[in-house]
Structure formats: C-alpha cells, structure tokens
C-alpha cells in the first residue's frame, strides 16, 4: 500500500482545487490532504485517484467525488467524539474522512460484497469505525440512535422518516434528494417535531436502493 511523492503532490493539488471550489473547513481539507484516496480504488484507476471526480468501485457503485465528500462533510459540522451515521459505506472513503475528524462512526452498506471488502480494508489503514453494518440504510440504526449527524451518500428518492427520527435535537441530516438529479438537503432538528430544511444545489449520486443485496 504505497504512498509516493507523486501521490502526496497530487493530494495537495486536490486540496487546492477544493479550496477554489469553495470548501473552507480546515479540518475537512486536512482530512482530504492526508487520506490516501488511491488505496480506495482499483489499481487500474490509480492515476485518477486525485482528480476531483467520482469513479467506479465494485458492485456497480462509485467512490464519491472529493468535492461532494468535502461539501457534505462540511455541512455535518463534525466535532471530535460526535456519534454519526453514514448510509452507503461503499469504498469507505467517506467513512475514513469521518474517522479522521474524530467522529464515532456507524456506517451501513446494503451490498454484501462491498461491506465485506471495506470491513477488512478500513482497519488496515488505521480507520476504526465503531461499527460497519450490512443492512438497509432506509431504516437507519435505531439501536444506536440518536445521532449528532447523519450523512446519506446515495441519491434518496424521498427522505426516510427513520433518519429524521434518529437525529438528536440540534442534530443534522445531510441527504441528496431526488431521482435522476438530487438536491443536497440539510435538515437541522430544532425540536421533537420541528426541522429546519435548507437546499444546497444539485448533485448526482448512484441511487439509494430498497433493502439489502
């Protein structure tokens, strides 16, 4: 699992690109500057690892674009020790960013192949999520709720009610909502039944699918 001067240099450039695109959170930029994204991709894609683009991983899924990862993470406003839930573990790159920020991470993946692969891979890099779960993210993780923040990394046709219900008061849900194109949406829980909703522009994700596979 090599990390060459070339990789380090490309990561620095990627961080500059993200700054130019409007990412300002220093902790998030540091995480992206340090996490070896090329190790999360198949070897044939090594040269692409530090372009600001999504790429295919196993099981017809993608590793999210770095800008999208940074944008969503920034919206979560992570503080060290926050209990957070991720829906769509995929390659584990976003999970690694959350771990790097000191969050206690629970992450759910519905594709068994990816769940297996990422469950063995992440600890090898030193990223220890609290729990990686093979399951259906539409249901959230009621036994560990409430969460300080929840991130959905696949396009949700609608906002799953359990995810809103599993936020603590003051907690934040960052979710791309829509079918072909998704609108990044932030919900902040203001009270038991009260949520502030903000829409933050269009993105494209692979779909959040029903049930596990």
> Which lies closer to ligand SAH via its Cβ, residue 152 or residue 188?
152
Interaction with ligand SAH in 151-190: which residues (CB under 6 A)? 153-154
> Which lies closer to ligand SAH via its Cβ, residue 92 or residue 171?
92
Q: Which stretch binds ligand SAH (CB under 6 A): 27-35, 44-52, 107-115, 192-200?
A: 107-115
Q: Which stretch binds ligand SAH (CB under 6 A): 18-26, 102-110, 167-175, 179-187?
A: 102-110
Interaction with ligand SAH in 46-65: which residues (CB under 6 A)? 61-64
Binding to ligand SAH by CB under 6 A, coded x per residue (else -) over 125-154, reads -----------xxx--------------xx
Instruction: Report in angstroms how near the CB of residue 189 gets to ligand SAH at its nearest.
Output: 21
Q: Are 88 and 152 in contact (CB under 8 A)?
A: yes
Instruction: Report in angstroms how near the CB of residue 111 gets to ligand SAH at its nearest.
Output: 4
Residues 58, 114: Cα–Cα separation, whole Å: 7
Catalytic positions, please? 64
Residues 93, 97: Cα–Cα separation, whole Å: 6
Question: Residue by residue, what is the 3-state secondary structure of the chain?
Answer: CCCCHHHHHHHHHHHHHHHHCCCCCHHHHHHHHHCCHHHHCCHHHHHHCCCCCCEECCCCCEECCHHHHHHHHHHHCCCCCCEEEEECCCCCHHHHHHHHCCCEEEEEECCHHHHHHHHHHHHHCCCCCCEEEECCHHHCCHHHCCEEEEEECCEECCCCHHHHHCEEEEEEEEEEECCCCEEEEEEEECCCCCEEEEEEEEECCCECCCCCC
CA angle in degrees (0–180, nearest 5) for 47-74-100: 65
Across the strands, what pairs with 151? 86, 174
Instruction: Report in angstroms how near the CB of residue 191 gets to ligand SAH at its nearest.
Output: 28
Instruction: Report in angstroms how near the CB of residue 43 gets to ligand SAH at its nearest.
Output: 16
Which of 49, 87, 141, 188 forms a contact with ligand SAH (CB under 6 A)? 87
> Which lies closer to ligand SAH via its Cβ, residue 161 or residue 190?
161
Instruction: Report in angstroms how near the CB of residue 134 gets to ligand SAH at its nearest.
Output: 9
Which of 111, 119, 149, 182 forms a contact with ligand SAH (CB under 6 A)? 111
Footprint on this chain of ligand SAH (rule: CB under 6 A): 61-64, 87-88, 90-91, 93-94, 108-111, 114, 136-138, 153-154, 206, 208-209
């Amino acid at each position: 699992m090599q990390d060459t001067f070339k990789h380090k240099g490309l990561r620095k450039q990627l961080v500059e690109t993200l700054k130019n695109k409007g990412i300002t959170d220093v902790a998030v930029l540091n995480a992206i500057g340090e996490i070896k994204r090329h190790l999360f991709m198949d070897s044939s894609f090594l040269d692409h690892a530090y372009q600001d683009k999504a790429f295919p991983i196993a099981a017809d899924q993608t590793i999210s674009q770095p800008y999208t990862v940074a944008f969503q993470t920034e919206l979560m406003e992570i503080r060290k020790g926050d209990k957070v839930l991720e829906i769509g573990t995929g390659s584990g790159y976003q999970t690694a960013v959350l771990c790097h920020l000191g969050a206690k991470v629970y992450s759910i993946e519905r594709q068994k192949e990816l769940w297996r692969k990422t469950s063995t891979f992440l600890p090898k890099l030193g990223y220890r999520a609290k729990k990686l779960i093979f399951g259906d993210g539409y249901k959230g993780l009621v036994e560990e709720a409430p969460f300080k923040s929840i991130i959905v990394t696949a396009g949700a046709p609608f906002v799953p009610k359990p995810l809103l219900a599993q936020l603590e008061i003051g907690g934040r849900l960052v979710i791309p909502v829509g079918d072909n194109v998704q609108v990044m949406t932030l919900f902040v829980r203001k009270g038991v039944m009260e949520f502030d909703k903000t829409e933050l522009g269009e993105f494209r994700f692979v779909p959040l699918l029903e049930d596990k596979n």
